[in-house]
Amino acid sequence: MKLSSKSFGMLPNGKNADLFILGNNNQVTVKITNYGAIITSIETPDKNGELTNVVCGFDKLEDYISDQYLGSYPYFGSIIGRFGNRIAEGKCLIDGKEFVGAVNNGPNHLHGGLEGFDKKLWEAETFESDKEVGVKLSYTSPDGEEGYPGNLDVVCIYSLNDKNELSIKYEAETDKTTLVNLTNHSYFNLTGGKEDIKNHDLVMTAKSMTESVDSIPTGKIIPVTGTEFDFSSKKKLGAGIATLETGYDNNYVLDNDAYKLIYVGTLSEEKSGRAMEVLTTQPGMQLYTGFWNPELVIDGKKKFGSYSGVALETQHYPDSPNKPNFPSTELKPGKKYKHQTIYKFGLI
């Protein structure tokens, strides 16, 4: 196991961000910066042993804070908070009082507001043992930040082991009742960006999803069997994308009411031979195939664009605060928010 760090660059406020490099004995290397708690790179070997970065990201901090990137912002690799996904019209009740958040995605509140956890500089502490290496990232969101009540202490623990498991553990505590729905927004491309993700295969255990109109759930849970949203058996993402105007952007119901760490799906790609399993304690997972990903010019080369990566965002359901039949995203004082997701890399 290997663990190192280096400077990643300076933010406009004069503070320095760092880059943490986690490596195991199977040539898997994960790079994480404490700016936005972003996974910038995950290198894994293909069936021929060739190493490639399989997530959308940048080598330099300046690209994450550039006007070009932020102008059509896809949240590459970041931790999303306080509330991942959408809240209808940016309004809901928290402990009986109206919350009004920024409307930053059409008529809705998205991913924590104008400046969520994805744009914060987190405190970092590394750790290592014979079994794993990792970095513990901490951030305190002050009472009233983006309209949310309560001082919220958040911890995100990234770790890598020799089973090729990248574990993400989330913890949070508050001094006032608030909302918490944390997720990681990595976009995976198992070809390393050589092709788009339409030829990726996906299989999921989910048998249902939240019905939505204009990206906001109606409150109904609907079956996916026999529809283009059905991934109960392995299917190419492109098969469904061909029937959907802007591809997939849907929340799947994982039937995980007990919040156990369970297997929920596998993403794979035949040419590279790479595969990635997903395990989580969360009740839902957003499948987003990146239709709106911007095409960027990085170091003189065009990169990314529509369908350049697929996000598998483990989470609670969108608009949960306005849907009493959905799993609650309220966190009260004295209680601890605690969840885990594992992305396990291997070969078909």
Cβ atoms within 10 A of the Cβ of 80, count?
23
SS3 sequence of the chain = CEEEEEEEEECCCCCEEEEEEEECCCCCEEEEECECCEEEEEEEECCCCCEEECECCCCCHHHHCCHHHHCCCCCCCCEECCECCEEHHHEEEECCEEEECCCCECCEEECCCCCCHHHCECEEEEEECCCEEEEEEEEEECCCHHHCCCCEEEEEEEEEECCCEEEEEEEEEECCCEECECEECCEECCCCCCCCCCCCEEEECCCEEEEEECCEEEEEEEECCCCCCCCCCCEEHHHHHCCCCCCCEEEEECCCCCCCCEEEEEEECCCCCEEEEEEECCCEEEEECCCCCCEEEECCEEEECCCCCEEEEEECCCCHHHCCCCCCCEECCCCCEEEEEEEEEEEC
- Two tokens at 112? 């924590």
Active site positions, annotated: 185, 313
pTM of the model: 0.97
- In tens digits, the chain (348 residues) has pLDDT values of 999 999 999 999 999 999 999 999 999 999 999 999 999 999 999 999 999 999 999 999 999 999 999 999 999 999 999 999 999 999 999 999 999 999 999 999 999 999 999 999 999 999 999 999 999 999 999 999 999 999 999 999 999 999 999 999 999 999 999 999 999 999 999 999 999 999 999 999 999 999 999 999 999 999 999 999 999 999 999 999 999 999 999 999 999 999 999 999 999 999 999 999 999 999 999 999 999 999 999 999 999 999 999 999 999 999 999 999 999 999 999 999 999 999 999 999
pLDDT at 253: 98
Contacts of 316 (CB under 8 A, 6+ apart): 84, 181, 282, 283, 284, 326, 327, 329
**Does domain 2-347 fall into CATH 1.10.240.10?**
no
